[in-house]
């Protein structure tokens, strides 16, 4: 299994020289399991660059893309890249979009309502690609060579976390996760997704002081991300969903602080996600 990070920022994209190290695009991670059908975590603004990277490979293979996109929720920072994903313009391409059930309104109606005038110049149905929208809840399903699990996690709106397992390796993805007020308790759903995982990608938007002012904004602290990783026995922790107010210097400081928290030595590696960062999970077993 191979991970590539195309967007690591939360809330809104940002740019400028002070964001050069970690990047300013919002949530989007490519998961390659070895099959010809990649899995994509979220459709933030990083999805545009992902599409650009995939296109040369598709041309070389001469086969249209078939991909599965796992949306955690429908906030703008996890959706804005979707209409800029270039494979949507390819006849014959198939993009399956999985996302959380939203109550009375269907996922299909919400996605089609977001990508339509006057919010966007074209409608989803105008793309040449075959787009298939699938509603998810607490459930598991199998792909060609992987198992995908989804569980509800605490946030401000209906939100799923995901776990992907393939060839004995596992990655859990919880980019938006409301830490409890005690910043100690780990919910059953989160444990289910993350127990014994090889790589945990977890919301780490705030420090403790910021959380004290924004404790109901739907996010976690760096320290709570470390807490979850320790509790579930994760091998590696990737700090994710960086606050747009945190520049490179600030994230470097938070990354360093995370490695010195009590119990952090139990985690093989703690790293703040960077745009363009890759993790070869097979190398972890060598």
pLDDT tens profile 2-19:
999 999 999 999 999 999
Q: Residue 276: what pLDDT?
A: 97
Angle between helices 248-258 and 222-232 (to 10 degrees): 40
What's the CA gap between 112 and 124, in Å, rounded? 6
The per-residue pLDDT for range 207-242, each reduced to its tens digit, is 999 999 999 999 999 999 999 999 999 999 999 999
Q: Residue 55: what pLDDT?
A: 85
**pLDDT higher than 60, residue 51:** yes
What's the CA gap between 172 and 177, in Å, rounded? 12
pTM of the model: 0.96
Q: Residue 8: what pLDDT?
A: 98
Q: State how far Cα 163 lies from the chain centre.
A: 11
Cα 224 to Cα 23, 108, 183, 238, distances in angstroms: 23, 34, 6, 13
**pLDDT higher than 80, residue 44:** yes
- CATH of span 2-285: 3.60.15.10
Nearest to 41 by CA among 87, 93, 3: 3
Annotated domain spans of the chain? 2-285
- pLDDT tier for residue 103 given thresholds of 50, 70 and 90: confident
What's the CA gap between 246 and 205, in Å, rounded? 9
| Residue 148 near residue 39 (C-beta atoms within 8 A) | yes
Q: Residue 251: what pLDDT?
A: 98
**pLDDT higher than 70, residue 286:** no
Q: Residue 175: what pLDDT?
A: 98
Q: Residue 285: what pLDDT?
A: 63
Say which DSSP state 154 is in. -
Q: Residue 61: what pLDDT?
A: 82
Between 284 and 210, the more confident residue is 210
The per-residue pLDDT for range 189-207, each reduced to its tens digit, is 999 999 999 999 999 999 9
Beta strands in the chain (DSSP E): 2-7, 28-32, 39-41, 66-70, 94-100, 130-136, 139-142, 147-152, 160-166, 169-174, 199-203, 236-240, 269-272, 278-280
Cα-flanking dihedrals φ and ψ of residue 203, to 5°? -50, 125
The per-residue pLDDT for range 137-156, each reduced to its tens digit, is 999 999 989 999 999 999 99
What's the CA gap between 201 and 239, in Å, rounded? 6
- pLDDT tier for residue 60 given thresholds of 50, 70 and 90: confident
């Amino acid at each position: 299994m191979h991970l590539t990070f195309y967007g690591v920022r939360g809330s809104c994209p940002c740019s400028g020289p002070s964001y050069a190290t970690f990047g300013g695009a919002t949530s989007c991670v490519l998961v390659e399991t070895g099959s010809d059908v990649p899995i994509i975590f979220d459709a933030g603004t990083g999805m545009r660059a992902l599409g650009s990277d995939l296109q040369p490979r598709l041309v070389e293979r001469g086969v249209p893309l078939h991909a599965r996109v796992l949306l955690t929720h429908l906030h703008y920072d996890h959706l804005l890249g979707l209409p800029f994903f270039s494979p949507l313009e390819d006849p014959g391409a198939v993009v399956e979009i999985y996302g959380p059930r939203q109550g009375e309104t269907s996922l299909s109606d919400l996605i089609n309502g977001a990508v339509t005038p006057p919010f966007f110049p074209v409608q989803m149905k105008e793309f040449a690609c075959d787009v298939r929208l699938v509603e998810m809840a607490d459930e598991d399903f199998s792909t060609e060579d992987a198992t995908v699990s989804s569980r509800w996690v605490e946030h401000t709106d209906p939100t799923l976390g995901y776990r992907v397992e393939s060839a004995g390796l596992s990655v859990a993805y919880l980019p938006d996760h409301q830490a409890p007020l005690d910043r100690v308790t780990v919910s059953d759903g989160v444990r289910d997704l993350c127990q014994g995982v090889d790589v945990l990608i977890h919301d780490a938007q705030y420090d403790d002081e910021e959380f004290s002012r924004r404790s109901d904004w739907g996010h976690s602290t760096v320290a709570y991300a470390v807490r979850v990783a320790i509790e579930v026995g994760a091998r590696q922790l990737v700090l994710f969903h960086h606050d747009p107010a945190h520049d490179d210097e600030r994230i470097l400081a938070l990354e360093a602080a995370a490695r010195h928290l009590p119990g952090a030595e139990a985690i093989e590696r703690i790293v703040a996600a960077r745009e363009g960062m890759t993790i070869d999970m097979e190398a972890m077993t060598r």
